[in-house]
Amino acid sequence: MEKYSDLITFIRQLYRTPTAHLPLHAPTFEQRDKDYVMDAIDSTFVSSVGEYVNRFEQDLAAFTGAARAVATVNGTCALQTALKLVGVESNDEVITQPLTFVATANAIAHLGAAPVFVDVDKDTMGLSPDALETWLKENTEVKAKAKVKTKNSQPQPYPQPQYQPVFNKHTGRRIAAILPMHTFGHPCRIEQIVAIAKAWSIPVVEDAAEAIGSWSRQTHCGLFGDLGILSFNGNKTITCGGGGAILTRDNTLAARAKHLTTTAKIPHPWEFDHDEIGYNYRLPNLNAALACAQLERLPDILKQKREIARAYQAFFAFRDWGQFMAEPHDTQSNYWLCTIALADRAARDALLEATNNAGVMTRPAWNLMPDLAMYAACVSGSLDNARWLQDRIINLPSSVRS
């Protein structure tokens, strides 16, 4: 169709790539990236101990405004650890959204807990505070603290968070956390979500895997809840091949995060003493070297990505067949993946076929989590908005131009 030909031509002109394959989101590297990696190699500290790991954590905390950042091997491990830190245990439930990458639900399942899927807002594509509040009112009850027995009798080296026990009155399971995700870098209505969570005394962990450099008002995504996480996978805004991080304003939680992700080893010059079952989730120094170099380039990367987003927005301002998904009000999105919404699934599929056949990579939204076999039996609310978006949205090429 001619309208899709116009879009393909526009994207190729935008990226100054008239014929070659255009990826959805490719990383870019400069000499500094290579220099830092070679310096880490020359130091021989290439595993989980090294100055680049410490430097990356300090630089990331400074950029985001976190009290501390704890670097991990990937975002999924960061998310699993963060959920454990707020007390999620086996047989609990965690409220999250159906429109997300599978790692969000997997991190819950890794702890033996079950996700509960609550609808998203159409404009943010993230967890809807209205749907959240409605679901809590209709499906939960609060039980007295004295009636709840701790599931883990093992002594802990750090104090555990204390929250009012809220239970799903249909399944009998405890609602242990709320886990919103900032979809494609657009901040969800996180302040409203946190306010609801506080009213119900439920902890919040933010999946900000896609949202490095995204802000709601003056606060970086990942710093509204008890803990937040970031991802530095190869397709993210900045990358170190893999990599993730836990963000928090709470120094006690940060200390416990670092302890738990470094095999719960008690610091000592030579003794190997561990005081609980921990994880080997520490980011290697070799990856951290690349992360440090990428983080130094982040302001310029974000500037370029906003320029690309503005170009797409201007293109679709004069097209009635596609709506550009702009950053929500009072937020600043990193525009990790520029996204449009079409009229229906047929139009979506036609555009996907036309662009990919032309060597311009586009992709639809993820399959909704309750549509996956392993999560089909999980509790779900009404998912009208999530299904509306799944039928319509497409991600466009969003790489930084080299």
Q: Is residue 243, in this structure, part of any structural domain at all?
A: yes
CATH of residue 205's domain is 3.40.640.10
pLDDT of 156: 54
Is residue 341, in this structure, part of any structural domain at all?
no
∠ CA 10-239-98, nearest 5°, is 75
What is the C-alpha to C-alpha distance for residues 118 and 384, in angstroms, rounded to an integer? 10
**DSSP designation for 184:** G
Count structural domains, the chain: 1
* Burial class of residue 192, CB neighbours in 10 A (0-12, 13-18, 19+): middle
Of the candidates 94, 337, 75, the one whose C-alpha atom is nearest the C-alpha of residue 207 is: 75
d(C-alpha 57, C-alpha 287), whole Å: 12
The pLDDT of residue 158: 56
Cα 190 to Cα 181: distance, rounded to the nearest angstrom: 9
Q: Is residue 384 part of a domain?
A: no
DSSP for 288-347 reads: HHHHHHHHHHHHHHHHHHHHHHHHHHHHHTT-SSEEE-PPPTTEE---SS-EEEESSHHH
**Under a CB-based contact definition with an 8 Å cutoff, are residues 99 and 365 in contact?**
yes
| Within-domain flag for 351 | no
Is there a domain that residue 57 lies in? Answer: yes
Sign of the dihedral through C-alpha 336, 225, 145, 169: negative
HEC states along 76-106? HHHHHHHHHHCCCCCCCEEEECCCCCHHHHH
Instruction: Give the integer Cα–Cα distance in Å for 187 and 336.
Output: 11
Q: Does a structural domain hold residue 87?
A: yes
Strand partners, 219: 216
Cα diameter, the chain: 70
Please indicate, yes or no, if residue 221 is contained in any of the structural domains. yes
The closest of 368, 251, 364, 273 to 24, measured between CA atoms, is 364
Q: What's the angle, vertex CA 193, arms to CA 191 and CA 198, rounded to 5?
A: 95
C-alpha 246/C-alpha 71 separation (Å) is 7
- Report residue 14: phi and psi, to 5°: -60, -40
Q: What is the CA radius of gyration of the chain?
A: 22
115, 375 contact by CB (below 8 A) = yes
Reduce the DSSP state of residue 204 to 3 states and report it. strand
Nearest to 287, CA basis, from 103, 27, 63: 27
> What spatial distance separates the first Cα and last Cα of the chain, rounded to whole Å?
30
Per-residue pLDDT of the chain (402 residues; tens, 9 = 90+): 678 999 999 999 999 999 999 999 999 999 999 999 999 999 999 998 899 999 999 999 999 999 999 999 999 999 999 999 999 999 999 999 999 999 999 999 999 999 999 999 999 999 999 999 999 999 999 987 544 444 454 545 555 566 779 999 999 999 999 999 999 999 999 999 999 999 999 999 999 999 999 999 999 999 999 999 999 999 999 999 999 999 999 999 999 999 999 999 999 989 999 999 999 999 999 999 999 999 999 999 999 999 999 999 999 999 999 999 999 999 999 999 999 999 999 999 999 999 999 999 999 999 999 999 999 999 999 999 999 999 999 999 999 987
Taking Cα atoms as reference points, which of 58, 168, 183 lies closest to residue 119? Answer: 183
pLDDT score at 161: 62
User: What is the domain extent for residue 216?
Assistant: 31-295
- Can you tell me the distance from the alpha carbon of 23 to that of 4, in angstroms, rounded to the nearest whole number? 17
Examine residue 381 and state whether it is found in any structural domain, yes or no: no
